[in-house]
Amino acid sequence: MSDQDQTHFGYQQVPVAEKQERVRAVFDSVADRYDLMNDLMSFGIHRLWKRRLIELAGVRRGQRVLDLAAGTGDLSARFAGIVGASGQVVMSDINAAMLERGRERMDDAAVIGNIDYALANAEALPFASNSFDCVTIGFGLRNVTHKERALAEMQRILRPGGRGLVLEFSHPTQVPLQKAYDAYSFSVLPLLGRLVAKDPDSYKYLAESIRMHPDQESLRDMMEQAGFERCEFFNLTGGVVAIHRGVKL
């Protein structure tokens, strides 16, 4: 098997055809404890990161938003409140268990009825070109097998003037923080996974997938290659997380 037939799954090399199923199995396993684990892993700071993404998205009333890798719907719910009844939010995920958990959460919260749901692969989106004002992917791009395809699809479905945003774990900008972050990721995260989610292996994968994700400059270059203009990134928490933003002109 050639290198072109393989890709990374954390630190492992696996056949390209297997990665999607392996990622799906990870999120099937963690879906029920996903929100609790997010709060524990980030000490609740993920809510501030998502708030910053909302600010940078610049979404307005009446617009149409696609939230990829939506998980349990944190971003979708906030966008729904902003675009209002005259707008639309499409909450999308490749994982059926995560999407169902998100739908239940929206029902429980009685979110305004302007959310639709789509089980979709970010590499081949089932939407027309030039059909959304904003598309976001929060903590999902690192799990995509062919990131360049997903970015190109995000650019394709945007209307001219539309914005694409990627919220993702990234590379800390200071060496001391990087060392502390590594120690936390490979010691504490699997422990939390074992104690809370009863699944240390999935959280070991999540830590490894973060390390395999492109750094800030590389991801900005990938967005430019996908056709986005005015690409920029914003480091949060010392670069532990970054938000990348590009515009379709």
Q: Which residues are annotated as a binding site?
A: 72, 93, 121-122
Dist. CA 247–CA 165, nearest whole Å: 9
CB 216 within 8 A of CB 235: yes
Dist. CA 114–CA 183, nearest whole Å: 42
Strand order across the beta sheet in which 241-247 lies: 115-119, 88-93, 64-68, 132-138, 158-169, 241-247, 229-236
CB 222 within 8 A of CB 151: yes
**Binding site per annotation, positions for S-adenosyl-L-methionine:** 72, 93, 121-122
Q: For residue 10, give the nearest of 204, 173, 194, 195 by alpha carbon.
A: 204
DSSP 8-state symbol, 187: I
User: Token digits for 205?
Assistant: 């994968």
DSSP 8-state symbol, 186: I
* DSSP E strand boundaries for 94-147: 115-119, 132-138
Dist. CA 152–CA 129, nearest whole Å: 11
- Strand pairing partners for 14? 7
Dist. CA 182–CA 211, nearest whole Å: 9
Strands 158-169 and 132-138: parallel
